[in-house]
């Protein structure tokens, strides 16, 4: 993973490989809104997830410095440490900085964040979804499947999350540790099951289940079927889960 100076991996495995030499890396210049904060402000951490099913592999730049390279669909990067502030974030096609999918300011506080690339390039709905991550025994769902209707998520026969629409992410809810069979169903239609998957939730860990891919993949599209990908959030993030 290519990490610009001032951004260092907080935890987790390497998912993408950069091409910067150490001498070429520069610390992103912080652009805080309002008065400067004291130097002892606690730092934050941010990771990037690629959940746009028709987008190519991407590079991610912060204040003009590439911090992640060749991030593939379905990848969730490790957290990168970042000081609170407002940064210019740009997402481009991998190896092609002139093909820009997103270029705008994003503000991070002293917390853990996931910046997920969602939507479709072809439909003009490509966008980043900035999620505030937790670090306790909690679970949430983020609906990033562009052709899926609003959904309910069940644990066994009981609804866990209801009426979650595309681009929405739920609040965290406490979930007892244990093994679960979760199912995704159209909102208000408990008899129709779109997908089921088994997960193991551990005590003291926060999770996000990302609904990604297509319910009906466009002609010629492969490996983009609807699924739910699990990731561990916050300071315990050391692995990424996939649905069974």
Q: Where are the domains of the chain?
A: 1-133, 134-244
Q: What sign does the CA torsion over 202, 203, 204, 209 have?
A: positive
Q: Per-residue pLDDT tens for 142-167?
A: 999 999 999 999 999 999 999 999 99
Give the lowest-confidence range in 127-141, 148-162, 190-204. 127-141
Q: Per-residue pLDDT tens for 13-66?
A: 222 222 233 333 333 343 333 333 333 334 788 999 999 999 999 999 999 999
| In the chain, % of residues over pLDDT 90 | 66
The pLDDT of 155-183, averaged and rounded, is 93
Record the tokens describing residue 69, joined without a space: 């390279």
Contact assessment for residue 76 and residue 231, using Cβ atoms and an 8 Å cutoff: yes
């Amino acid at each position: 993973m290519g990490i610009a100076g001032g951004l260092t991996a907080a935890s987790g495995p390497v998912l993408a490989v950069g091409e910067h030499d150490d001498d070429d890396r520069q610390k992103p210049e912080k652009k805080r809104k309002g008065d400067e904060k004291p130097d002892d402000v606690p730092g934050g951490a941010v990771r990037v997830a690629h959940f746009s099913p028709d987008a190519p592999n991407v590079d991610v730049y912060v204040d003009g410095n590439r911090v992640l390279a060749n991030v593939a669909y379905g990848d969730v990067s490790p957290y990168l440490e970042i000081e609170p502030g407002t940064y210019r974030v740009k997402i481009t096609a991998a190896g092609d900085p002139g093909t820009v999918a997103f270029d705008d300011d994003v503000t991070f506080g002293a917390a853990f964040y996931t910046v997920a690339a969602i939507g479709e390039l072809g439909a003009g709905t490509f966008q980043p979804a900035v999620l505030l991550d937790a670090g306790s025994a909690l679970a949430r769902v983020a609906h990033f499947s562009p052709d899926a209707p609003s959904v309910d998520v069940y644990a066994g026969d009981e609804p866990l999350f209801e009426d979650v629409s595309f681009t929405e992410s739920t609040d965290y809810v406490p979930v007892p540790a244990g093994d679960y069979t979760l199912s995704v169903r159209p909102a208000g239609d408990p008899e129709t099951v779109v997908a089921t998957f088994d997960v193991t939730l551990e005590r003291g860990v926060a999770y996000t289940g990302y609904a990604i891919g297509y319910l009906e993949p466009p002609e010629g599209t492969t490996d983009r079927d609807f699924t739910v990908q699990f990731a561990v959030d916050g300071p315990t993030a050391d692995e990424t889960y996939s649905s069974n």
